[in-house]
């Protein structure tokens, strides 16, 4: 895979949020993309040797459990609408995070919680759903048609300086505002880390300034990320070499030139630390069901730092699963399961019934309109800052919206062909159930910790206040059918050598 | 930032399935904000269609930030629309004028069959990559990154090819529906890097053979592909592929 190199040929590295040393390998401003392409190419090599069989355009709709073991999945062929059953000795989910429950996020539009939630409904525990990461450097929302938020790479904060006008409602063009009237609030509040303060802290600081009336742009929900000083210091060519593609992308979206005027940025949902509960072998509480990557809850605790999703990809996919799945296969008696096994037929019928039910509502509102509404509810009450009364209120609102969804959603066309509305309808139905669990978890956790900030629990200077005595546990939730409250299972966090402390970025 | 609103006529290709003949439908869409992306404009069209109980237009998309290669569309006859170095998802409506008629079609190439409306099947690209668009390193055998030195300048040239997102605009823009730019981006980047050298002969021969088998046309060096490429992949990679192909044909080690 590609990595930027020094002139002498060794790997280049740079600094990232939450770190004060340059220790992160990178590839221009598209590290994640090159990782993806590298992984894709390695996979296609296995496809060519016949070790991997690829089923593109398929979506998992049900997990098949036989004698308590995960033994297969039911998928829908998105190109033809046909349901397919695949039986197996074990199931490995690597289906990503649930950030799109907020509708607007930096995730790809197709990302969803369905595969994980279908497993949760069959008994897999869902852990720490309230830990959601809000990334500080995204392009702000421009209108209610907005479909997606674009991340400006965190690497920009190596050279960009974040500021807002010191005077509330200052509408002058940024280059007309002298340095003495600018508030470089990250450098002011966190002098040692400055613009490279961690994501959650930077995001909350931006929200705090905007809430106080210092935000910029049409909506007042944005702050400046300014490269003026870096360009003066290093020259435009050096800045272009490092960030050219990001500046280009910003220019495409906003029609503004970040070489000449500062970028406007605002926080957006970017990553979800919560996910299906797994043990050290990455197996969920359903034997034979393994969960890897963002889909599980492990590795990042309450907050993920820059570049560490790669670390999880390596540890889960490279160091752990190749060794642990063999143990399950070797030590478990696995009778042959065929597609006509009653459990397979039942799972397939469940998936089919659900499609029929969604198609049958024939209401008035589009799937997207419901999804937007759900996302706004969560963003307002369970986004960057949360409190008890807001969470209690939003749980009720989510339930009402879910009831309305099943009475009034409109899915046109047929289930037996390519139908993107139907695909979205199934995902949003699951988001509607999952959103409630997210809010319940946020309500239960009466402390501020990582990506979860409860306004009632903060220090006098507005920093997160943890409560290790009462909440030093993983909250693993067990789904209950029939609309009953989920059951909380606490997995205590035991620290034998290193004691939890509060890291100061000041 | 001021917001202007556009009223547009959209001529959209509708096709119920792979075997349907298909045809254009014209829709009127009013009040389109110039800040919208092109795909957001289609979202708004679909909301309008759903409200009128007409099935929404199916189109491929995913990341909506220009890096995943899922979005496509011929917009007024140009792959990814009128802007240079821009995917359809990054194209914004400020590029259009009030009263414009915008024609929207799927990628047109025999090797990319239409699945429905504007959605095409690009799995031919996957099959080409499977023929050698990789470096054979087994899990657990990867050498330390610094064990093989790659001069920074050389790495940058290879990286220009690695920037390809595999969207297929090069094929759609080509009058022969040739996939040479896509294939050459991969062949060339791996031929430049030392890690790719051991397999370079087999790679170029096999990938070109698969490209021909998939039914892509021949390259006549028109460079429409380069003009349409959202990742600005240069036709210099095609020249390098041709050199690699010649070299492999004459001096094949395998």
Q: What is the pLDDT of residues A368-411, one digit of tens each?
A: 999 999 999 999 999 999 999 999 999 999 999 999 999 999 99
Interface of A with B in 33-72 (CB under 8 A): 33-34, 37, 40-42, 44-45, 47-48, 54, 56
* Residues A41, B1: C-beta atoms closer than 8 Å: no
Q: Give the up-direction half-sphere exposure of residue A500: CA atoms within 13 A in the CB hemisphere.
A: 15
Q: How far is CA A372 from the centre of its chain?
A: 17
CB A98 within 8 A of CB A433: no
Residue B41, SS3? helix
Rounded mean pLDDT, A412-416: 95
**Angle, vertex CA A88, rays to CA A84 and CA A92, nearest 5:** 95
Of residues A502 and B43, which shows the higher confidence score?
A: B43
What pLDDT is recorded for position A218? 86
Residue B113 in contact with partner chain A when CB distance is under 8 A? no
Cβ distance B35 to A142 less than 8 Å, yes or no, reads yes
* B23, β-bridge pairs: B14
Task: Decide if pLDDT at B86 tops 80.
Answer: yes
Tell me: pLDDT of A504 over 70.
yes
Q: With an 8 Å Cβ cutoff, are B58 and A420 in contact?
A: yes
- Number of Cβ within a 10 Å radius of residue A405: 23
Q: Is the pLDDT of residue B254 over 60?
A: no
Question: Does A421 sit within 8 Å of B50, measured CB to CB?
Answer: yes
Q: Is B1 on the interface with A (CB under 8 A)?
A: yes
DSSP string, B23-90: EEEEEEEEEEETTSBHHHHHHHHHHHHHHTT-PPPP---SSSSS-S-----EETTEET-SSTT--GGG
Q: For residues A382 and A99, what is the distance between their CA atoms, to the nearest angstrom? A: 12
Taking contacts as CB-CB distances below 8 angstroms, the residues of chain B near A418 are 17, 58, 115-116, 119
Higher pLDDT among residues A13 and B160, named by residue:
B160
Quote the CA–CA distance of B84 and B107 in Å, as a whole number: 17
Mean pLDDT in residue range A115-139: 96
Predicted ipTM? 0.95
Contact A421 B121 (CB under 8 A): no
Residues 6+ apart with CB under 8 A from A252: B66, B83, B86, B90, B91, B92
Q: B129 and A10: CB-CB below 8 Å? A: no
Of the pLDDT bands very low, low, confident and very high (cuts 50, 70, 90), residue A306 is: confident
In this complex, which of B33, B50, B151 lies closest to A5 when CB atoms are compared? B151
Mean pLDDT of A320-345: 96
A171 and chain B in contact, CB less than 8 A: no
- Residue A30 CA to residue A34 CA, distance in Å, equals 6
Does an H or E element contain A86, and which? strand A83-87
Provide the H-helix boundaries in A212-260. 228-234, 236-254
User: Could you give the residue ranges of the DSSP H alpha helices within A362-477?
Assistant: 367-382, 388-408, 420-444, 468-471
In chain B, pLDDT over 90 holds for what percent of residues? 91
Q: CB contact, 8 Å: B226 with chain A?
A: no
Contact yes or no for B92 and A4 at CB 8 A: no
Cβ contact B4:B34 at 8 Å: yes
Query: A-contacting residues of B 134-193, CB under 8 Å?
Result: 134-137, 139, 145-146, 149-153, 155, 158-159, 162-163, 165
pLDDT of amino acid A17: 62
CA–CA separation, A294 and B77 (whole Å): 40
DSSP per-residue letters across A18-59: T-SS--EE--TT-HHHHHHHHHHHHHHHHHHHTS-----SEE
Residue B54 β-bridge partners: none
**Residue B5 pLDDT exceeds 80:** yes
Q: What is the mean pLDDT of residues A356-366?
A: 97
Rg (CA), chain A: 24
| Category of B140 on φ-ψ map: left (φ > 0), alpha (ψ -120 to 50) or beta | left
pLDDT tens digit sequence for A201-240: 899 999 999 999 999 998 899 999 999 999 999 999 999 9
Query: Does residue A19 register a pLDDT over 80?
Result: no
What is the rounded distance in angstroms from the CA atom of residue A362 to the CA atom of residue A412? 8
Chain A residues whose CB is inside 8 A of the B129 CB are 40-41, 44
Tokens of A143: 């209108």
B68 contact residues in A (CB cutoff 8 A): 108
- Give the integer Cα–Cα distance in Å for B187 and A42: 15
For B186-227, the DSSP string reads HHHHHHHSGGGGGGHHHHHHHHHHHHHHTT-----S--HHHH
Tally of CA atoms within 13 A in the half-sphere of A99 that contains its CB: 24
A414 pLDDT more than 60: yes
Model confidence at B3, in pLDDT bands (50, 70, 90)?
low
Nearest CA in chain B to A251: B90
Is the model more confident about A501 or about B116?
B116
Residue A269 structure tokens: 């949902």
Beta strand pairing call for A289-291 and A91-93: parallel
The secondary structure of chain A in percent helix, strand, coil, rounded to multiples of 5, reads 40, 20, 40
pLDDT score, position B253: 60
B chain contacts of residue A419, beta-carbon cutoff 8 Å: 58
Inform me whether the C-beta atom of residue B114 falls under 8 Å from chain A C-beta atoms: no
Mean pLDDT computed over A39-49: 95
Query: CB–CB of B64 and A147 under 8 A?
Result: yes
- C-alpha B153/C-alpha B146 separation (Å) is 16
CA distance A121 to A478: 8
Q: What residue has token string 């929404």?
A: B56
Strand partners, B27: B10
* CA triple A323-A325-A326, angle to 5 deg: 70
- The stretches of A291-417 forming alpha helices (DSSP H) are 308-314, 321-331, 342-361, 367-382, 388-408
Least confident stretch, A1-5, A351-355, B134-138 = A1-5
Is any Cβ of chain A less than 8 angstroms from the Cβ of B69?
A: no
Residue A148 Rama label (left phi>0; alpha psi -120 to 50; beta):
beta
Residue at token pair 């965190």? A154
Residue B65 exposure: Cα atoms within 13 Å on the Cβ side: 24
- Is the pLDDT at A348 greater than 90? The verdict is yes
Residue B213 contacts A where some CB pair is shorter than 8 Å: no
The pTM assigned to this predicted structure is: 0.94
CA distance B134 to chain A (A): 5
**Confidence bin at B145 (pLDDT 50/70/90):** confident
| Alpha carbons A506 and A496: distance in angstroms, whole number | 28
pLDDT of residue B1: 45
Average of per-residue pLDDT values in chain A: 94
**Rounded to an integer, what distance in angstroms lies between the CA atom of residue B195 and that of residue A482?**
57
Tell me what pLDDT residue A505 has.
Answer: 81
Least Cα separation, residue A139 to chain B (angstroms): 11
pLDDT band at A18 (very low <50, low <70, confident <90, very high): low
Tens digits of residue pLDDT in B47-80: 999 999 999 999 999 999 899 999 999 999 999 9
Rounded Cα distance between B176 and B73, Å, is 18
Residue B110 CA to residue B113 CA, distance in Å, equals 6
Q: Does position A489 have pLDDT exceeding 80, yes or no?
A: yes
Inter-chain residue contact A417 with B16, CB threshold 8 Å? yes
Task: Give me the mean pLDDT over the B6-10 stretch.
Answer: 98
Tell me how far the alpha carbon of residue A324 is from its chain's centroid: 26
Flag if B40 and A369 touch (Cβ within 8 Å): no
Are B146 and A147 in contact (CB < 8 Å)? no
pLDDT recorded at residue A407: 98
φ and ψ of A408, to 5 deg: -130, 10
* The predicted structure's pLDDT at residue A4: 85
Most A CBs within 10 A among B65, B95, B146, hence the mutation to make, goes to: B65
CB A17 within 8 A of CB A202: yes
Q: For residue B102, what are the β-bridge partners?
A: B10
* B85 vs A26, higher pLDDT: B85
């Amino acid at each position: 895979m590609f990595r930027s190199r020094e002139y002498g040929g060794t790997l280049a590295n740079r600094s990232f949020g939450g770190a004060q040393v340059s220790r992160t390998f990178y590839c221009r401003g598209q590290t994640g993309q090159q990782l993806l392409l590298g992984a894709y190419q390695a996979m296609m090599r296995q496809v060519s040797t016949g070790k991997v069989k690829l089923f593109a355009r398929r979506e998992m709709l049900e997990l098949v459990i036989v004698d308590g073991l995960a033994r297969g999945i039911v998928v829908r062929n998105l190109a033809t609408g046909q349901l397919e059953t695949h039986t197996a000795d074990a199931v490995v989910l690597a289906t990503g995070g649930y950030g799109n429950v907020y509708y607007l996020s930096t995730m790809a539009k197709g990302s969803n919680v369905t595969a994980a939630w279908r497993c949760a409904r069959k008994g897999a525990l869902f852990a720490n759903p309230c830990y959601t990461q809000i990334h500080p450097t995204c392009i702000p929302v421009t209108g209610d048609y907005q479909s997606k938020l674009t991340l400006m790479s965190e690497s920009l904060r190596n050279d960009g300086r974040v500021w807002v006008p010191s005077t509330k409602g200052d509408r002058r063009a940024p280059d007309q505002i002298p340095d003495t009237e600018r508030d470089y609030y990250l450098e002011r509040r966190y002098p040692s880390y400055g613009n490279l303060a961690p994501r959650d802290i930077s995001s909350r600081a931006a929200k705090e300034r905007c809430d106080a009336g210092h935000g910029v742009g049409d909506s007042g929900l944005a702050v400046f990320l300014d490269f003026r000083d870096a360009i003066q210091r290093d020259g435009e060519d050096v800045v272009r070499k490092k960030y050219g593609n990001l500046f280009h992308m910003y220019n495409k979206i906003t029609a503004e030139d970040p070489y000449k005027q500062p970028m406007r940025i605002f926080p957006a949902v970017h990553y979800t630390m919560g996910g299906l509960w797994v043990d050290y072998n990455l197996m969920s509480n359903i034997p034979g069901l393994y969960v890897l990557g963002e889909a599980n809850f492990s590795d990042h605790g309450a907050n993920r730092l820059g570049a560490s999703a790669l670390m999880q990809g390596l540890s889960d996919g490279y160091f752990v699963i190749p060794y642990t799945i063999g143990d399950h296969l070797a030590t478990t008696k696995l009778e042959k399961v065929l597609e006509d096994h009653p459990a397979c037929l039942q799972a397939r019928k469940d998936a089919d019934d659900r499609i029929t039910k969604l198609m049958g509502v024939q209401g008035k509102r589009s799937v997207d309109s419901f999804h937007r509404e759900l996302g706004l509810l969560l963003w307002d009450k369970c986004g960057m800052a949360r409190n008890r009364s807001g969470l209690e209120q939003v749980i009720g609102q989510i339930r009402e919206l879910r009831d309305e969804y099943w009475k009034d959603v409109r899915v046109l066309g047929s289930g037996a062909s390519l139908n993107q509305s139907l695909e979205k309808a199934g995902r949003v139905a699951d988001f509607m159930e999952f959103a409630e669990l997210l809010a319940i978890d946020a309500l239960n956790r009466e402390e501020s910790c990582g990506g979860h900030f409860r306004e009632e629990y903060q220090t006098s200077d507005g920093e997160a206040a943890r409560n290790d005595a009462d909440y030093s546990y993983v909250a693993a939730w067990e789904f209950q059918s029939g609309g009953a409250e989920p059951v909380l299972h606490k997995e205590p966090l035991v620290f034998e050598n290193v004691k939890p402390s509060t890291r100061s970025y000041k | 930032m001021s917001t202007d609103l556009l009223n547009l006529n959209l001529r959209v290709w509708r096709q119920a399935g792979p075997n349907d003949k298909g045809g254009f439908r014209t829709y009127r869409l009013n009040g389109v904000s110039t800040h919208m992306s092109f795909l957001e404009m289609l979202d708004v069209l679909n909301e309008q269609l759903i409200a009128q109980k007409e099935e929404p237009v199916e189109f491929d998309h995913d990341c909506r930030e220009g890096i995943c290669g899922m979005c496509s569309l011929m917009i007024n006859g140009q792959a990814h629309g009128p802007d240079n170095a821009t995917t359809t998802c990054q194209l914004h409506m400020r590029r259009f004028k009030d009263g414009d008629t915008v024609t929207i079609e799927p990628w047109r190439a025999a090797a990319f069959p239409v699945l429905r409306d504007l959605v095409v099947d690009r799995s031919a690209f996957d099959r080409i990559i499977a023929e050698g668009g990789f470096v054979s390193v087994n899990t657990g055998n990867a050498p330390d990154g610094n064990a093989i030195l790659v001069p920074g300048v050389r790495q940058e040239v290879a990286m220009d090819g690695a920037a390809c997102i595999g969207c297929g605009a090069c094929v759609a823009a080509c009058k022969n529906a040739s996939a040479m730019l896509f294939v050459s981006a991969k062949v060339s980047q791996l031929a430049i890097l030392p890690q790719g050298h051991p397999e370079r002969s087999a790679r170029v021969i096999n990938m070109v053979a698969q490209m021909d088998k998939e039914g892509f046309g021949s390259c006549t060096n028109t460079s429409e592909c380069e003009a349409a490429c959202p990742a600005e992949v240069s036709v210099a990679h095609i020249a390098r592929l041709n050199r690699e192909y010649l070299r492999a044909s004459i001096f094949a080690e395998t």
